Amino acid sequence: MIAPGATIGILGGGQLGRMMAIAAAQMGYRCHIFAPEKESVAADVSASFTCAEWTDTAAMARFAEDCDVITWEFENVPVAALSAIPEEMLRPHPRALEVAQDRLAEKQFVESLGGQPAPYAEVDTREDLDRAVDRIGAPGILKTRRDGYDGKGQWRIASQREAEALNLQQGGFVYEGMVGFDAEFSVILVRAMDGEIRYWDSAENVHDHGILASSTLPARARVEDEVLAARALAAKVAEALNYVGVLTLEFFATSAGPVFNEMAPRVHNSGHWSIEGAATSQFENHIRAICVMPLGDTATTGSEITMTNVIGADALTAHQYLSDPAAHLHLYGKSEPREGRKMGHVTKVVR
Ligand code: AMP
């Protein structure tokens, strides 16, 4: 057990780290953030901050010396940077990062466990893309294998002609057929060191331009029908990776069953509702799991819950949500409300 009072290292300085650090502080831990960005909103609520590049192995080694256990809130931490950290300190194990950082490896891994992704093809060249569109059809989406998030690094392709007009400067893509889904949902689980798994209820997610707009509970029956199959796959993924902590898999609900979209080896935006809407939040259970404390109850405590993201300039007027006494406002303390930037969220819980 990592006893309260110990120091938890968090790689990445964004809002997920901020909410993790708040949960950790509540249980008496101190957090140390490592992130390259000066404005790291996780550091604002943590005891220590190392602001250094991922490639600064001396800074990473010093950071590790100050920590008792280390986790991440950002899945694109370069895996090479982790070599400066003793492996037994890292939870989850970095193999989860290796799989999740590459869309192609992630799809192949999930397929090997019996999951069903959208039809896909590896694309490195113009000819690869033509062949992929021929085989899979259009519409589809070309995605970078690495470093894409919130709809970035994605190009929707409506027709073969549109594909032909794309100028591929470098390789490293996957082309995916467009899935005609009835709904989107995610499975969020927490797995303890001893292998115990708990799941939160699956919210129904709505995306706008590739960015999560809202998560609602209860999800429609369409989603409920597919949650058990999706959970079974998520459990296989967690077990295959000997995973410790919170793991998220995103799915499309379709008439052919749940289609796997992507995984995040971390707490997830579609689980933010759990702060006020579940007996134990995803952030608290992640901290409990990596510190080898007993897991908390994941039961939903509201009859209707909606989490809405506050994006860009909406942050300037977000306090207005509080005119509804059932609403809880979370602002992440980011200084610039740029377009498409996640600035906060609001959770409304009907008990
Ligand atoms: P991603 O970053 O891959 O999770 O994509 C963001 C969002 O874009 C998803 O949540 C969907 O709303 C949409 N999207 C991505 N891939 C597909 C696909 N193959 N078919 C249909 N919609 C997709």
The DSSP call for residue 147 is S
Distance 207 CA to ligand 1 centre (A): 8
* Domain covering 119-177: architecture: 2-Layer Sandwich (3.30)
Which ligand 1 atom lies nearest to the CA of residue 140?
19
pLDDT tens-digit map of 258-305: 999 999 999 999 999 999 999 999 999 999 999 999 999 999 999 999
Q: Which residues contact 245 (CB under 8 A, 6 or more apart)?
A: 71, 91, 92, 190, 191, 265, 266, 286, 289, 290
Question: CA 29, CA 60: separation in Å to the nearest integer?
Answer: 20
Which ligand 1 atom lies nearest to the CA of residue 207?
12
Nearest Cα to Cα of residue 227 among 202, 260, 252, 209:
202
Distance 101 CA to ligand 1 centre (A): 16
Distance 119 CA to ligand 1 centre (A): 13
pTM of the model: 0.97
Question: CA 176, CA 215: separation in Å to the nearest integer?
Answer: 24
Pocket test for ligand 1, best of 174, 185, 261 (most atoms within 8 A of CB): 261
Question: CA 160, CA 47: separation in Å to the nearest integer?
Answer: 53
Question: CA 266, CA 189: separation in Å to the nearest integer?
Answer: 10
- Give domain limits for the chain: 7-90, 119-177, 183-350
Question: CA 129, CA 96: separation in Å to the nearest integer?
Answer: 28
Question: CA 236, CA 249: separation in Å to the nearest integer?
Answer: 11
Question: CA 33, CA 244: separation in Å to the nearest integer?
Answer: 20
Which ligand 1 atom lies nearest to the CA of residue 178?
20
In the predicted structure, residue 168 carries a pLDDT above the cut 80:
yes
- Cα 256 to Cα 118, 184, 223, 226: the distances in Å are 11, 14, 12, 10
Question: CA 262, CA 226: separation in Å to the nearest integer?
Answer: 16
Tallying the residues shown for the chain, one arrives at 351
Distance 244 CA to ligand 1 centre (A): 27
Paired strand residues for 154:
143
Question: CA 101, CA 121: separation in Å to the nearest integer?
Answer: 17
* Domain covering 183-350: architecture: 2-Layer Sandwich (3.30)
Distance 210 CA to ligand 1 centre (A): 6
Distance 280 CA to ligand 1 centre (A): 29
pLDDT tens-digit map of 169-226: 889 999 999 999 999 999 999 999 999 999 999 999 999 998 999 999 999 999 999 9
Write out the DSSP string of 185-202. Answer: EEEEEEE-TTS-EEEPPP
Q: Is 61 helix (H, G, I), strand (E, B) or coil?
A: helix
pLDDT tens-digit map of 219-268: 999 999 999 999 999 999 999 999 999 999 999 999 999 999 999 999 99
- Give the binding-site residues of ligand 1, using a 6 Å CB cut-off: 118, 141, 151, 176, 178-179, 184, 207, 210, 250, 261-262
The DSSP call for residue 150 is T
Note the CATH number of domain 7-90: 3.40.50.20
pLDDT tens-digit map of 77-128: 999 999 999 999 999 999 999 999 999 999 999 999 999 999 999 999 999 9
